[in-house]
Structure 1
């Protein structure tokens, strides 16, 4: 591949028919930092956090009421013929309406994300947003997260993608999507005010939840097997107690948490008092400041620098990250105090990501975006956008675990997955119509690097639509 093709496809999101080939690829990539819009027009119509939280709070309240009513009902030995039976809770009209409204919020945000990727003039920076959103993964498998997952990307990732990693880290860990997804909002220090009240009343101990602390250390910062212990995770979880979100709380402390619904709140009544020893350092701060101090130290750790650099190198330079590139990126991260643009510049200035041969197999999101950009699409109907990604096996904001989606070819290049891409490619080609000349488009998208087998296959296609579909599933197109 030529350097222009690498810039557009490996660093960017794929070329569009009307895009100008950058004369200076590196300058074109780095110049996007000055033009990037954290809040582009595509996001202007997405539901606000207040709207989403109001709907979620109403739904959760309905769930609680239904649960109480069910517990209060006397069990009947046998249903009496002719007597009305309790309706299934999923059939309740208000619940159905609220679930549908929450789902519509998700579809709107998914559509806005795709529209932004299709229309952006800063595709490298946009790709970096997607990279970090997957690094800090949440999943809509948990119903309360459905309306919040997109907001995490729009509110915590996009504004900080060109800032310091520590700022992004703090914004993510205090976002309601992450607090709800990893059950931090209900974590109670055993010796906190609420914990002691529960113990005195002989109530069921809800206790400490270590999910957020563990994932911050293992996935978001240090990485696995980097010297921290289970005791460090537990102590960090104690430091994090009190980090919650207003308006969506459940349990004994919910009524004690004020503030604007959906906003991060520090609830002193949930916080485990005392100093902490975490990864060899003592933290004597009180309240919210304690966990914040831990986060800042984790962000500055050499282990975090290497973990992030390895993932970035894998994303841009191959499934087996080149050790020299990882070292170079780690040094840039540490020398700059975690300044992300400095890290990106070190990446762009390194030779490894500019290798002429394809280095990465596109995942379904990357392939879908690049396919739609290639045919000049600027938007897709919300339900269709969601259906395409679900069909291809990568529904938006729905990875199987907090680790996010895999970034290696083995996870995406199976025979069944390729068959589904062929089916979607045909639909995209059908929607594009017969006006696009696949032969001319192929030469424009891959100047100087289009293989003869692909060129021949397109030329022999029975129709323009078939030629376009063949281009979209060609070896040149499915790799970057």
Structure 2
């Protein structure tokens, strides 16, 4: 595989027919750090987090005030509205990926959205999944890891998804009142604290204990979302709220460090420290190297990325530069097997598509087994061939390739298109198969299903 093809496909989202292969692939990739637009036009059409949180709070207040006989119809209507908002966001995400002139940075946005995974099974998360990527991920792709982490942890989608809104310190004012009034009092929820340590920062087997998780969860009590309107303290544009009445009082000890009682600042201090920990640098470096280079990435590359992360204080552009300038990232070793999202986007970019209606994009990703923002686990979708290369998954891709090729009709000649989207990467067997195809549509389908296109 040529360096041009690696830049377009491994680092980017796949070439378009009108793309000119970059003469200096590394410089082309690095130039995207300055050119990246966090909110290009497709994203600008979506409602922002504060609007959706206000909408959700109003819905819940309206539901509580309604007669019991009317509530199910109202729930159904709210559910339809959430699905429509979700589908519009999926369409915006697809259009942004198809149109992007900075595909390396667009891929980075997808990477971080999967690293900080939410899963939209809950209605309020379904409603806000697109806004989570809009407001918590995309603005920080070229910023500091700590800032992205804080934005993620404070976002309503994450707080709802990991049940942080239900977490109450047992010794807090609300916790003590609850213990007196309820047979089953409100209590501590450790989900958010555990996933921050295990998935978002330090990683598994990095030395933290169950007591660290519990202490961190105590520090996070009070971190929740604002309710409807000023009466519940909702600041314009800021749906996050710290509620002192549910915060567990007292100092905390996490990972051997002591944190003084300090309300919201206590958990912020812990987040700052875990974001800067060597284990976090190692964890992030491993995931980036695995995503861009190999399922089992070279240890020297991982070490170099971790060192860049630490020395820069988590400045993500420094880490990206180290990745792009590392020789291991440019070796032609077969590449990474594309996830369904990667394959779908690269297929449509190859055919010159610039948008896809949200319902169509949603249906396509459901069929291929990677629904957007629905990994089913806080760990996100898998990033190795084993997660996506099963025989039945490959059959679905071949069937989808045939449909996409049929839709393209006679507008594309696969013999001309193949070297444009895979410059210097086509093997002789693939060239012959495309040249000898019985129809133009079959030739296009063979291109999308060939080994060179299935990997990046």
Q: Same fold (TM over 0.5)?
A: yes
Equivalent residues in 2 for 1:153-172, closer than 5 Å: 153-172=133-152
Residues 86-127 of structure 1 show CA distances to partners (whole Å, capped at 9, x for unaligned) of 79x65x2x3322211111100011100110000011000110
Counterpart Cα distance in 2 of 1:174 and 1:455: 51
Q: CA deviation at 1:244?
A: 0.4
| More helix as a share of residues | 2
2:96 counterpart residue number: 116
Counterpart Cα distance in 2 of 1:302 and 1:115: 37
Native 8 Å contact 2:122 2:161 kept in 1: yes
Equivalent residues in 2 for 1:386-425, closer than 5 Å: 386-425=362-401
Change (3 A) 1:96 1:228: same
Equivalent residues in 2 for 1:63-462, closer than 5 Å: 64=64, 69=68, 90=72, 92=73, 94-247=74-227, 258-259=234-235, 263-462=239-438
Residues 431-471 of structure 1 show CA distances to partners (whole Å, capped at 9, x for unaligned) of 21212000110111222321111111111212111110110
Number of residue pairs matched?
Answer: 456
Native 8 Å contact 1:443 1:450 kept in 2: yes
Counterpart Cα distance in 2 of 1:200 and 1:449: 69
Counterpart Cα distance in 2 of 1:275 and 1:14: 51
Native 8 Å contact 1:56 1:102 kept in 2: no
Residues 171-229 of structure 1 show CA distances to partners (whole Å, capped at 9, x for unaligned) of 11001111110011121001111111112334531100000000000000000011110
Counterpart Cα distance in 1 of 2:228 and 2:289: 38
Counterpart Cα distance in 1 of 2:47 and 2:207: 42
Equivalent residues in 2 for 1:51-70, closer than 5 Å: 51-61=51-61, 64=64, 69=68
Q: CA deviation at 1:65?
A: 5.8
Gaps (5+ residues) in structure 2? none
TM-score under structure 1 length normalisation: 0.91
Native 8 Å contact 2:281 2:306 kept in 1: yes
Q: CA deviation at 1:318?
A: 0.5
Q: CA deviation at 1:51?
A: 3.9
**Alpha-carbon RMSD:** 1.9
Counterpart Cα distance in 2 of 1:350 and 1:294: 32
Native 8 Å contact 2:188 2:217 kept in 1: yes
Native 8 Å contact 1:246 1:260 kept in 2: no
Counterpart Cα distance in 2 of 1:170 and 1:419: 41
Change (3 A) 1:260 1:34: closer
Q: CA deviation at 1:261?
A: 8.6
